[in-house]
């Protein structure tokens, strides 16, 4: 098996079929699970890195190639991108190996006549990689940041306007940082058992670092395989869950005996943690399709959460039987996903200004349809995995001012490390002449938090807590 050819075929599939990269990469690694860990790590890094740096790579290719990238044959375009990525970002790969292997693959795949073209472009970039052309940082700040951090210009402009130069650049750098798999241990097991399980994983070559925000969540390293192969995972002692998702459940302050409704539950991470906290209570986990239901049920079954019922239900519709029944309503609504681009690298190429308005409308539909499930005095926990004002802070105003909910401060609810990071970010924004929560009252601002990559140890996420008063 030629692993570079496998990467090439994966990139071609993504370009041709438009599948989500994280799903396809997982599928490829599962299919070729017999490969050595080193080879699987190479496949994962080269595929994901090429996607993540695509805008930057195309900028260099357009500069050194006589033919614009957009006019190249798909195979040549993908091959050049992955070859340049190896030369610029994979120090263990000699430039000559990346170049020679690319020329060999060109000939093998029936494009022998283009071997000279490919070789020429790659040799030029290799020879000048320490002095590659970049837009002027001061004269063209948007273009510079777009190329430097491989981010569409309209997103760069949005964040420059919202945060200012320094905060925005730290955010962009944060989205490019390595994102290790995070494992959340069941809160029902003891600290002693947790330590023992971590020791077993370390003995199997898995690095385990406790997350600074939550004691039951660990960041992993040195492991390129499927988490499902880990003994603790298959035994239902832990699951894959980002800290931001766990923090959303923490913010809800679920108590023993509570009835929790999770409207957009798949893949079930929040529902399972909520069920652990609800104890003798119950969680109703809903989502829109059979596929999402099956994924959620699979994770629930593995974790042994017996107090969760899973249903298919369209969140834009109101279930009259649930009105004023929920102690806690979890609303992690569909969003643009701009906060998790570090893990889902093709989001930035899929999201456009034009389709964001439809998302905002959908979020309001789901929120309005579900808000009535909350008992008087009960909790509504709103969250998204995006870092865009219209999907976050603007929704806070909508929930408070149109749906009869009062904001509930997150002080004393979230870990001190998270709240301290929020204060530091807000101070930076004040120094930069920006409002941390534009359009919100002081009380509303204290009820929400925007987790920002680069500034906090998490993906981009938004959490807001409310209490029903009407």
pLDDT confidence band for 396 (50 / 70 / 90): very high
What does pLDDT average to over the chain?
Answer: 94
- 3 state SS of 405: strand
Interior CA angle at 7 toward 131 and 92, to 5°? 45
Q: The domain at 243-468 falls in which architecture? A: 3-Layer(aba) Sandwich (3.40)
Buried b (16+ CB within 10 A) or exposed e, 16-30: eeeeebbebbeebbe
C-alpha 467: how far from chain center: 28
- d(CA 269, CA 246) in angstroms, rounded, equals 8
Each domain of the chain, given as residue ranges in start order, spans 3-133, 182-240, 243-468
Give the number of other CB atoms < 10 A from CB of residue 65.
Answer: 20
Per-residue pLDDT of 136-181, as tens digits, reads: 999 999 999 999 999 999 999 999 999 999 999 999 999 998 888 8
| Ordered strands of the 207-210 beta sheet | 207-210, 217-221, 182-185, 238-240
Residue 24 is given by DSSP the state: H
Judge whether residue 228 has pLDDT over 80: no
Task: Provide long-range contacts, Cβ within 8 A and 24+ apart, for 214-217.
Answer: 214/184, 214/243, 214/246, 214/247, 214/250, 214/415, 215/191, 216/184, 216/185, 216/186, 216/187, 216/246, 217/182, 217/183, 217/184, 217/185, 217/241, 217/243, 217/246
Q: Which pTM was predicted?
A: 0.93
Whether the per-residue pLDDT at 17 is higher than 90: the answer is no
Q: How far is CA 296 from CA 264, 267, 287, 385, 446, in A?
A: 11, 5, 9, 18, 32
Cα 37 → chain centroid: 24
CATH architecture of 182-240: 2-Layer Sandwich (3.30)
Percent of the chain at pLDDT > 90 equals: 82
Q: Over the stretch 345-388, which tens digit does the pLDDT of each residue have?
A: 889 998 988 889 899 999 999 999 999 999 999 999 999 999 99
Residue 402 in contact with residue 433, Cβ under 8 Å? no
What DSSP state is assigned to residue 219? Answer: E
Q: How many CB atoms lie under 10 A from the CB of residue 376?
A: 10
Terminal CA-to-CA distance of the chain, rounded, Å? 64
| pLDDT at residue 470 greater than cutoff 90 | no
Per-residue confidence (pLDDT) for residue 34, from 0 to 100: 84
**Per-residue pLDDT, 105:** 94
Handedness of CA 53, 54, 58, 59 (dihedral sign): negative
Q: What is the CA radius of gyration of the chain?
A: 24
pLDDT the model gives residue 291: 95
Distance of CA 438 to the CA centre of its chain: 25
Using one digit for the tens of pLDDT, what is the confidence trace for 75-128?
999 999 999 999 999 999 999 999 999 999 999 999 999 999 999 999 999 999
Q: Beta partners for 382?
A: 331, 464
**What digits encode the pLDDT tens for the residues 261-308?**
999 999 999 999 999 999 999 999 999 999 999 999 999 999 999 999
Ramachandran angles phi, psi of 378, nearest 5°? -80, 175
pLDDT at 219: 92
Distance CA 231, CA 241 (A): 17
CA atoms of 438 and 435, how far apart (whole Å) = 5
Distance CA 46, CA 2 (A): 13
Instruction: Please state which CATH number belongs to domain 3-133.
Output: 1.10.940.10
* Inter-CA distances, 111 with 70, 73, 240, 357, Å: 18, 10, 42, 43
Give me the pLDDT at residue 342, please.
Answer: 85
Which residue is it, tokens 């609810």? 413
pLDDT recorded at residue 224: 64
């Amino acid at each position: 098996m030629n692993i570079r050819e496998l990467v090439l075929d994966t990139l071609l599939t993504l370009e041709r079929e438009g599948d989500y990269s994280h799903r396809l990469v997982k599928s490829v690694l599962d299919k070729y699970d017999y490969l050595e860990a080193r080879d699987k790590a190479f496949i994962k890094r080269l595929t994901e890195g090429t996607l993540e740096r695509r805008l930057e790579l195309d900028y260099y290719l357009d500069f050194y190639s006589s033919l614009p990238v957009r006019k190249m044959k798909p195979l040549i375009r993908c091959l050049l991108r992955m070859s340049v990525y190896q030369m610029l970002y994979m120090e263990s790969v000699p430039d000559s190996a990346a170049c020679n292997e690319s020329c060999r693959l060109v000939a093998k795949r029936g494009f022998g006549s283009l071997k000279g073209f490919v070789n020429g472009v790659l040799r030029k970039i290799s020879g000048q990689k320490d002095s590659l052309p970049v837009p002027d940082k001061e004269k063209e700040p948007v273009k510079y940041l777009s190329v430097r951090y491989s981010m569409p210009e309209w997103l760069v402009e949005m964040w420059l306007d919202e945060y200012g130069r320094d905060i925005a650049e730290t955010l962009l750098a944060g989205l490019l940082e390595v994102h290790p798999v995070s494992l959340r241990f069941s809160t029902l097991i003891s600290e002693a058992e947790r330590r023992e399980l971590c020791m077993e994983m370390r003995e199997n070559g898995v690095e385990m670092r406790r997350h600074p925000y939550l004691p039951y969540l660990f960041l992993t390293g040195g492991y390129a395989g499927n988490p499902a192969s880990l003994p603790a995972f298959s035994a239902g002692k832990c699951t894959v869950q980002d800290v931001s998702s766990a923090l959303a459940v923490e913010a809800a302050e679920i108590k023993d005996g509570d009835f929790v409704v999770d409207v957009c539950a798949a893949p079930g991470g929040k529902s399972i943690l909520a069920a652990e906290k609800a104890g003798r209570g119950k969680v109703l986990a809903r989502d829109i399709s059979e596929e999402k239901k099956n994924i959620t049920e699979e994770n629930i079954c593995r974790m042994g959460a017996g107090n969760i019922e899973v249903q298919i239900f369209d969140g834009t519709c109101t279930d009259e039987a649930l009105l004023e029944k929920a102690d806690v309503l979890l609303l992690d609504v569909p969003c643009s996903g701009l906060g998790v681009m570090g893990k889902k690298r093709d989001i930035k190429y899929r999201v456009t200004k034009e389709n964001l308005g439809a998302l905002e409308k959908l979020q309001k539909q789901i929120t309005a349809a579900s808000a009535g499930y909350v008992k008087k005095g009960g909790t509504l926990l709103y969250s998204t995995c995006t870092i865009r004002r219209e999907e976050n802070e603007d929704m806070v105003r909508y929930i408070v001012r149109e749906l009869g909910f009062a904001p509930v401060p997150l002080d004393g609810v979230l870990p001190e490390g998270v709240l301290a990071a929020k204060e530091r970010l807000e101070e930076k924004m004040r120094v930069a002449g920006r409002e941390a929560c534009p359009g919100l009252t002081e009380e509303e601002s204290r009820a929400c938090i925007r987790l920002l990559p680069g500034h906090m140890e998490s993906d981009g996420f938004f959490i807001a807590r409310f209490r029903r008063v009407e």
